[in-house]
Amino acid sequence: WTTMQRRNPLRPGERALFFRFWMAAADYQAVGQVQSNIFLQMVQQSVLTPGLAYTLIPTAEPAFWELMGDSIDFHAWPEATFVVDQKQYGVFGHDWRALPPHAWLALLAEREIALTAADTQPPPAAPLLVLSEAEFATAVRQALRDYTRPEFLKTNPLLRSRLVYADLPQAGDPREQLRHILAATAALMQETPKLAPFYEPLRLTYLEPAGTQEQVAEQLDLPFGTYRRHLKSGLEYLTERLWQRELGQ
């Protein structure tokens, strides 16, 4: 737990899997059919666990597994080493937020590991960013400000987030994907009577700017204070929905 907090802490709603005990009755953690089956079960559980941030695997012979671990992006965590009955154990970990399952499976295929996946896409050029909730909210607001200026979006942290890469088509433009996500998620407000009043202030302020905030309020025939409250509520809804997607929920 301490190691995770020092590296990239779990965010609200995220989980970690720690496979504390794994072994064969006859040959403990030696390479073999039982070990292979155990690893496949670990992968399956990791891929199917919602909101999973980390998979952590302890081993009794960390030096033996290090090369294999590096090849599948499960790297040694030296600071997580622990001792039981005077025996030192190592821990290998993978951050699914930085390299999500679809990209990880593609990585295995590239390295000719005996695991296959249908309809995978190449991993991003750089590891995905793991943003805190506050950092994420700031990036959403900046993306809205730059929505009509895609050239300014190229430095937005969301371009390297799971939010954007989760459904990015192969060879797709992350900037256009981000713009699509912002517009489509905001449009969902129209489907709920309670949220519908918040959509137009947000749309005319950021997605299809209609002038200054005062001009938008006038166009919507709203007192400026009401417009500001509706805009704030729309921003809060949009940010929360996007944050849930970022967490894989």
Q: Is residue 123 part of a domain?
A: no
- Same domain (yes/no): 180, 101: no
Q: How far apart are CA 168 and CA 166, in angstroms?
A: 6
**The domain boundary residue, chosen from 54, 79, 110:** 110
The pLDDT assigned to 30 comes to: 76
- Same domain (yes/no): 200, 157: yes
- Same domain (yes/no): 75, 44: yes
Phi, psi dihedrals of residue 17, rounded to the nearest 5°:
-105, 125
Give, in order, the Cα–Cα distances in Å from 209 to each of 75, 146, 216, 235, 245. 47, 11, 8, 15, 26
The pLDDT assigned to 118 comes to: 41
Give the pLDDT band (50/70/90) at residue 22. confident
Q: Which of 19-28, 76-85, 142-151 has the highest mean pLDDT?
A: 142-151
DSSP 28: B
- Same domain (yes/no): 92, 143: no
Q: Is residue 128 part of a domain?
A: no
Q: What is the CA radius of gyration of the chain?
A: 23
* In the predicted structure, residue 63 carries a pLDDT above the cut 90: no
Q: By the 8 A CB rule, do 209 and 148 touch? A: yes
Of all residues in the chain, the percent with pLDDT exceeding 90 is: 45
Region of poorest pLDDT, from 54-68, 102-116, 235-249: 102-116
The pLDDT assigned to 116 comes to: 41
User: Residue 181 sits in which domain range?
Assistant: 133-246
Domain count, the chain: 2
Reduced to 3 states (helix: H, G, I; strand: E, B; else coil), residue 234 is helix
The pLDDT assigned to 58 comes to: 93
- Same domain (yes/no): 143, 91: no
- Same domain (yes/no): 145, 106: no
Give the pLDDT band (50/70/90) at residue 202. very high
Per-residue pLDDT averaged across 25-29, rounded? Answer: 81
pTM of the model: 0.62
Give the pLDDT band (50/70/90) at residue 112. low
